[in-house]
Amino acid sequence: MVFLHDLTRMTAQTHFDVLIIGSGAAGLSLALELADQASVAILSKATLNSGSTQYAQGGVSAVLDTQDSIASHVEDTLIAGAGLCDRETVNFTVSEGPARIRWLIEQGVPFTQEITPSGKRDYHLTREGGHSHRRVIHADDATGAAIGSTLNSHAQRHPNIHLFERRLAIDLIMGHKLGLNSRRCLGAYVLNRDTGEVQVFSARFVVLASGGAGKVYLYTSNPDVATGDGIAMAWRAGCRVANMEFIQFHPTCLYHPAAKSFLISEALRGEGGRLLLPDGTPFMEKFDPRAELAPRDVVARAIDHEMKRLGSDCVFLDISHKPADFITSHFPNIYARCLELGFDITRQPLPVVPAAHYTCGGVVTDQRGQTDIEGLFAVGEVAFTGLHGANRMASNSLLECLVFGHAAAQTILGQLDQTPMPPDLPAWDESRVTNSDEEVVVAHNWDELRRFMWDYVGIVRTTKRLQRAQHRVELLKREIHDYYSNFRVTNDLIEMRNLLLVAELIIQSALSRKESRGLHYTLDYPWQAPLAHNTLLTP
Ligand SMILES: Cc1cc2nc3c(=O)[nH]c(=O)nc-3n(C[C@H](O)[C@H](O)[C@H](O)COP(=O)(O)OP(=O)(O)OC[C@H]3O[C@@H](n4cnc5c(N)ncnc54)[C@H](O)[C@@H]3O)c2cc1C
């Protein structure tokens, strides 16, 4: 049931059973599972396909081969997570995997097939770092785009799903706004980026599916929308966040000024790609016996080490020793994009650098995606479920989106009848603000933040660098707070405010971890503590 009505306060107020903030794999899969029984609004702050999902190349991990087993996928995930995964969550996620893949196939996702040696047509599975079996199902090398466009086309056609592009959720609306339960979420204030108006969306349930926070770093594989908005909104609403220090740096982004962080999939190394120094020497064996197939953190640190040692801007990734038709058929997307940029991967190595790639921490949820706040769920990269521990294993993240999207949908449907629609909520208060006089402040602070996060809170950390970054965040926060209090909100201002908060949470978490584990590496505590613990921050 959907009804829009005008309030005398001039703000259109919109009621839905479920408001989903984010239109990636998590948000769309959740919406499709809800929509036969509930009215659903999906917001995207840019176009519907602007999230990380669109860019996922490698695929989705699941146990689909008879030689493989749930136990093995669980074990690999636990090893990658360096002692911090929640075993029960890993078990749950991995066990649900095959069913979620079947659901995607039923939706029509065109996963790549092959003719097996026994002459049977079956899905082609690839192998990625940390996986001890071939278990990554994919649609060529553009899996995320295939999943996104398939789910999107179903969502567009479903009469109960209402898609809103260029709508930026600013903050969650909590019960205390109406003098009700302050730990209940009732909706969100949403900036319409085309009109500049702030609208009120009220809902029985709100789901954060807003993705990660890679844009807090100068170099990232993430798209522009990845500014940690969901984490920041949840924190301001009173949710705990966990393990924010574990930022995964993808080892191999194309090093090219015109390619805005174009990622060279791990699958390239999985299929025999070698990492080389500028003089052509392979170097990964020096760092790990698994060489190019070592987990991402090991590869990223090795590259960082070699680049710093040699003072070079990049290293090289070479797959040109493989037959050209093998390369073009396995990696058509990477091949075409690199060719556009002047690199023929069938003939030459590619210059690559590491870049911030995945936010392992996030809003604390249980196995149903439920956060600390009543009526508020978080699914996908925004969430901390305990699956990834101190390091995400490749292709486990899309799996997490699907498994937790499904679990949250089941839970919401189970609670729908008992949960009343919130009453009309107060309009956004703009009575004390004016138009900004100096947008340059936001642009400048944005650049400054991302640079010092890269330099001081990057792949290799020290306490001194973290403290330096913390001090700078404090200064920028004050400036942005003044700005936020006095001027009309804009997209950039909201994102900057959120990025600063996320940066603060990352630094605070990194400072509190007095060891090196998984993705967190500090020269001051280079050892791993005997006991593993999560970093839980409470607002
Ligand atoms: C280049 C790249 C390659 C990857 N490859 C793989 C892979 O092969 N396998 C794998 O498992 N994982 C991969 N990942 C990770 C994976 O793609 C992501 O973790 C996953 O897609 C996240 O999905 P999501 O639905 O949580 O969020 P996203 O797909 O990032 O979507 C976020 C959505 O939230 C919206 N949004 C954000 N903030 C707001 C706001 N304030 N208001 C309104 N809307 C908002 C955005 O507009 C967007 O629609 C890759 C990531 C990248 C960047």
- Residue found by looking up tokens 């798209």 in the block: 223
Q: What is the mean pLDDT of residues 533-539?
A: 98
Region 94-98 average pLDDT: 98
Ligand 1 pocket check for 275: Cβ under 6 Å = no
C-alpha to C-alpha distance for 433 and 43, rounded to whole angstroms: 25
> How close is the Cα of 373 to the center of ligand 1, in Å?
23
**Which ligand 1 atom sits nearest the alpha carbon of residue 211?**
27
Q: Work out the average pLDDT over 62-78.
A: 97
**pLDDT higher than 60, residue 6:** no
More confident: 270 or 362: 362
Which residue lies with its CA nearest to atom 1 of ligand 1?
55
Point out the ligand 1 atom lying closest to the alpha carbon of residue 357: 53
Beta bridge partners of 355: 250
Is 70 exceeded by the pLDDT of residue 208? Answer: yes
* d(CA 26, ligand 1 centre) in Å: 8
Give the distance from CA 402 to its chain's centroid.
Answer: 13
Convert the pLDDT of each residue in 506-531 to its tens digit.
999 999 999 999 999 999 999 999 99
| Ligand 1 neighbour 57 (Cβ under 6 A) | yes
- Mean pLDDT for the chain overall: 93
From residue 8, give the alpha-carbon distance in Å to each of 12, 189, 259: 9, 17, 48
Report whether residue 493 contacts ligand 1, using a CB cutoff of 6 Å.
no
In this predicted structure, what is the pLDDT of residue 454? 87
407 vs 402: CA distance, rounded Å: 9
Q: Is the pLDDT of residue 416 over 90?
A: yes
Atom of ligand 1 nearest to the CA of 22: 34
Work out the pLDDT band at 36, boundaries 50, 70, 90.
very high
- Nearest ligand 1 atom to alpha carbon 379: 26
Residue with tokens 């909100």: 489
Pocket flag, ligand 1, residue 397 (CB < 6 Å): yes
Q: In sequence order, what are the residues at sequence separation of 6 or more whose Cβ sits closer than 8 angstroms to the Cβ of residue 442?
A: 436, 480, 483, 490, 492, 493, 496
Contact 333, 57 (CB under 8 A): yes
- Cα(177)–Cα(179) distance, integer angstroms: 6
Task: Determine if ligand 1 sits within 6 Å of the CB of residue 489.
Answer: no
**Taking Cα atoms as reference points, which of 285, 266, 390, 283 lies closest to residue 331?**
266
Q: Are 328 and 335 in contact (CB under 8 A)?
A: yes
Distance CA 128, CA 251 (A): 13
Question: What pLDDT is stored for residue 13 in this prediction?
Answer: 76
Give pTM, 2 decimals.
0.92
- 399, 61 Cβ separation under 8 angstroms: yes
pLDDT band for position 536 (50/70/90)? Answer: very high
CA nearest 203: which of 415, 383, 39?
39
**Secondary structure percentages of the chain, helix, strand, coil, to 5:** 40, 20, 40
- Tokens 């500049």, residue? 196
Element (H, E) at 248: strand 247-254
Residue with tokens 């705990």: 240
Rounded to 5°, the CA angle 293-297-299 comes to 45
Q: Does the pLDDT at position 2 exceed 50?
A: no
**pLDDT recorded at residue 430:** 81
Q: Tell me which amino acid residue 182 is.
A: S
Q: Can you tell me the mean pLDDT for 299-313? A: 88
Q: How far is the CA of 53 from the centre of ligand 1 (A)?
A: 4
24 lines ligand 1 (CB under 6 A): yes
pLDDT at site 12: 64
Backbone angles phi and psi of 363, in degrees to 5: -75, 125
Fill in the DSSP letter of residue 461.
B
pLDDT for residue 61: 97
Active site residue 296: yes
Q: Is the CB of 270 under 6 A from ligand 1?
A: no
Q: Does residue 248's CB lie within 6 angstroms of at least one atom of ligand 1?
A: no
Listed in order, strand segments (DSSP E) in 31-178 are 40-43, 60-61, 113-115, 121-123, 125-126, 136-137, 161-164, 167-174
What spacing in Å lies between the alpha carbon of 287 and ligand 1's midpoint?
A: 31
Give, using CA atoms, the residue closest to atom 21 of ligand 1. 53
For residue 70, is it left (φ>0), alpha (ψ between -120 and 50) or beta?
Answer: alpha
Please answer whether residues 264 and 352 qualify as being in contact, where contact means their C-beta atoms are separated by less than 8 angstroms.
yes
Contacts for 508-511 with beta carbons within 8 Å, 24 or more apart?
Answer: 508/244, 508/470, 508/537, 509/243, 509/244, 509/245, 509/361, 509/535, 509/537, 510/244, 510/245, 510/457, 510/461, 510/466, 511/463, 511/466, 511/467, 511/470
Q: Which atom of ligand 1 is nearest to the CA of 223?
A: 53
Q: Is the dihedral of CA 512, 246, 237, 508 positive or negative?
A: positive
Q: Which of 379-393, 401-415, 485-499 has the lowest mean pLDDT?
A: 485-499
Is residue 3's pLDDT more than 70? Answer: no
**Separation of 505 CA from ligand 1 center, angstroms?**
20
